[in-house]
């Protein structure tokens, strides 16, 4: 492929919107796209709430996890978590990694920026957003600034609105991204606040998988 054609192809991919947000897709539900430089590389798939969501601790001790520090590569973070200890040591990571849903076994614990895309596109509540959080250069389209009070708004996907069958709970969710040796990053799904917590605390976790575009 010539350089000119490649540029056109990449530009077209950056504007590909995928299925409708929240629609059934590849073993779960379409949550949006991730990529680099505003160009989509993968579609994100959220697992069903009945099988892919749970409340777990990140780790049974507030100690380091070698390698699990990417803000975008959830599959690698999860692989690093699984390699570092068994399900007793890493309950949340193993829960996601061990799932088989819809015939797919490549579920994982989302990285920070993947989890943020899920919030942005599938926000369950009508609560005002925390405006100190939200910048995500891996989102498609890329977002270089934080949330406003009203953006993102509550998702239009009815099943993902508060009380819906697939809705995120209005609470904190773990990402797979380590923040420090003692803490990992997480996001509040009521107002979008992004922060961190000790690994030994129990919070919600929701497994995802990715499909190349």
pLDDT tens for each residue of 45-57:
999 999 999 999 9
From residue 53, how far is each of 16, 47, 95, 174, 195 by CA, in Å? 28, 8, 9, 11, 20
d(CA 173, CA 57): 11
At residue 58, φ and ψ (nearest 5 deg) are: -70, -45
What is the C-alpha separation between 24 and 7, in angstroms, rounded?
Answer: 31
- 3-state DSSP helix/strand/coil percent for the chain, to nearest 5? 25, 25, 50
Q: Compute the residue count for the chain.
A: 213
Tell me the two tokens of residue 56.
């777990």
pLDDT score at 101? 98
Find, among 12, 48, 1, 46, the residue nearest to 140 by Cα. 12
Q: Is the pLDDT of residue 11 over 50?
A: no
Are 37 and 142 a contacting pair, CB within 8 Å? yes
Task: Tell me: pLDDT of 12 over 50.
Answer: no
Query: Measuring CA to CA, which residue among 14, 31, 79 is closest to residue 209?
Result: 31
Kindly state the average pLDDT of the residues 166-194. 98
Question: What's the pTM?
Answer: 0.92
pLDDT over threshold 50, residue 15: no
Res. 10: pLDDT tops 60: no
Question: How much is the average pLDDT of 196-208?
Answer: 98
Mean pLDDT across 159-183: 98
Whether residue 44 contacts residue 61, with contact meaning beta carbons closer than 8 Å, is answered with no
Cis peptide before 152 (omega within 30 of 0): yes
Structure tokens at 166: 């697939």
- Rounded average pLDDT over 11-36: 82
Residue percentage of the chain with pLDDT more than 90: 91
* Mean per-residue pLDDT of the chain: 93
60 or 13, higher pLDDT:
60
Residue 104's pLDDT band (cuts 50, 70, 90) = very high
Please report, for residues 6, 7, 39, 65, 127, the alpha-carbon distance to residue 2 in angstroms, rounded to integers and kept in the order given. Answer: 6, 9, 18, 43, 48
Query: Helix, strand or coil for residue 4?
Result: helix
* Tokens read off for 120: 């942005």
CB 209 within 8 A of CB 45: yes
List the end-to-end C-alpha distance of the chain, in Å, as a whole number: 18
Separation CA 140–CA 162 (nearest Å): 25
């Amino acid at each position: 492929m010539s350089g000119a054609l490649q540029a056109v192809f990449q530009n077209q991919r950056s504007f590909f919107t995928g299925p409708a947000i929240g629609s059934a897709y590849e073993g779960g539900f379409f949550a949006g796209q991730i990529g680099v430089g505003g160009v989509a590389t993968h579609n994100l798939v959220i697992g069903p709430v009945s099988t892919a969501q749970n409340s777990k601790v990140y780790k049974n001790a507030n100690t380091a996890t070698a390698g699990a520090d990417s803000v975008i590569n959830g599959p690698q973070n999860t692989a690093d978590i699984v390699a570092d200890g068994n399900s007793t040591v890493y309950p949340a990571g193993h829960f996601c990694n061990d799932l088989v849903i819809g015939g797919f076994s490549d579920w994982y614990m989302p990285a920070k920026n993947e989890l943020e895309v899920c919030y942005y596109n599938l926000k369950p509540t009508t609560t005002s957003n925390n405006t100190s959080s939200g910048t995500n250069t891996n989102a498609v389209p890329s977002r270089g600034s934080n949330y406003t009070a009203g953006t993102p708004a509550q998702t239009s996907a009815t099943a993902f609105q508060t009380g819906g069958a697939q809705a995120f709970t209005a609470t904190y969710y773990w990402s797979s991204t380590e923040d420090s040796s003692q803490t990992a990053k997480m996001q509040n799904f009521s107002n979008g606040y992004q922060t961190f917590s000790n690994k030994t605390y129990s919070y919600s976790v929701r497994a995802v998988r990715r499909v190349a575009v």
